[in-house]
Amino acid sequence: DIQMTQSPSSLSASVGDRVTITCRASQSISSYLNWYQQKPGKAPKLLIYAASSLQSGVPSRFSGSGSGTDFTLTISSLQPEDFATYYCQQSYSTLGYTFGQGTKLEIK
Amino acid sequence: EVQLVESGGGLVQPGGSLRLSCAASGFTFSSYEMNWVRQAPGKGLEWVSYISSSGSTIYYADSVKGRFTISRDNAKNSLYLQMNSLRAEDTAVYYCARAAYCGGDCSFFQHWGQGTLVTVSS
């Protein structure tokens, strides 16, 4: 099974900050990496697919990069509505669409 | 508008069974692969099961293999998850999610339901 490890597990930041979240795969997954945002009591929302493609309707302050085993999600200038938990997910192996453990982004 | 509405959750005793349903609308259900994803209280997301558009290909997470069965009825635009031999660790919100593709192994969960809570407790 492919394991996905996110860092950090939690992060405190201020409105306007630039934030980067990292996701590492236990083996190469090419660019088959997605990012989701989840707010309390809500279903996850797709932000980025295929490592760097922005889902329609998602603000351009969100961006993704990486390939192989190392990936990043960057929020260029945090807005109040961005405080949430973020998950990466690999789609390389259909035997299990593994998620990372999540990164909780909190207000400093 | 794509809509996915889960139902069937509730309280069940350990060892019991429950059948979840996901009613789909706003798209051609028979053309899309579907998944179940769960989230234990206060925990992260865990992929549970996948079914192809025709139902001919199915995968399960190791944690539910042999106990859960995914199925679909394309005539009724519905996805199901039959859960047997339930354990306390199966307690979670269960989401159905519609997959979308961007070529090769590139896929992602574009649409999600609101979830249904399953509680396994005596």
Strand-pairing partners, residue A37, are A45, A86
Sign of CA dihedral B111, B116, B121, B122: negative
B62 touches chain A (CB under 8 A): yes
Question: Between the CA of residue B19 and those of A22, A66, B47, what are the distances in Å?
Answer: 37, 39, 17
Residues B60 and B69: their CA atoms lie apart, in Å, by: 8
Residues of B in contact with A49 (CB under 8 A): 100, 102, 106, 108
**Residues 6 or more apart in contact with residue B57 via CB below 8 angstroms:** B50, B51
Q: Can you tell me the mean pLDDT for A94-99?
A: 86
Structure tokens at A101: 């453990």
pLDDT value at position A93? 86
B36 touches chain A (CB under 8 A): no
Please name the residue that has the structure tokens 């199915």.
B58
Q: Can you tell me the mean pLDDT for B19-30?
A: 98
Whether pLDDT at A94 is above 80: no
Q: With 0-12 CB in 10 A as exposed, 13-18 as middle and 19+ as buried, what is A11?
A: middle
Q: Can you tell me the mean pLDDT for B43-52?
A: 96
Whether pLDDT at A50 is above 90: yes
Q: Can you tell me the mean pLDDT for A67-92?
A: 96
Facing residue for A96 by CB, picked from B44, B61, B95: B61
Residues of A in contact with B105 (CB under 8 A): 30, 32, 91-94
Nearest residue on chain A to B107, judged by CA atoms? A91
